[in-house]
Structure formats: C-alpha cells, structure tokens
Amino acid sequence: MAKVKISATVDPARLERAKELTGLRGVSEVLERGLTALIEDELERLHADGYSRLPQADETVGSVDPEVWSDLPWDEE
C-alpha cells in the first residue's frame, strides 16, 4: 500500500493515551489505526441510517439502540 507523508497537529495527551491503550509506539501507527476505526464507524453509521430509512421486510428500524442488543441471550444452546 502506498503511503503519503502528512503533517498533523494533535492533542499530545490524547496521542499518549492512544499509545497507552493500543500499545503502539509510532504516531503513524496510531493515526493509521485511528483512520481505520473512523472509516469503519462511519460505514456502520451509514449502514444503520440506511436501515432506518428503508423498510426491511415488513418492518422499519426507527433508530439503532445498542441497549436492545445487550439483553439478548447470545449463547446458542
């Protein structure tokens, strides 16, 4: 994959916290991972927005509520 060199100004405390949490040492690694997470988050948001706008079978999801999923029994027996 081709890379491009950028100049960025970031909050140093946030950068250090990201390094602590991820175990990554380089700024480039942290930014790359952050961009990947941002892209995935936006794609999920767009996907959820699409479900709320378009009928799915006989139902339309009005809004995405993560609390709905937290109480479901996910273990298959």
**Exposure of 37 in the CB half-sphere (CA atoms within 13 A):** 8
Q: What is the mean pLDDT of the chain?
A: 82
Residue 31: phi, psi to the nearest 5? -65, -40
Cβ atoms of residues 72 and 63 within 8 Å: no
Place of tokens 């890379």: 3
Where do the domains of the chain lie?
Answer: 25-62
C-alpha gyration radius of the chain: 19
pLDDT in tens, 24-60: 999 999 999 999 999 999 988 888 877 776 666 666 5
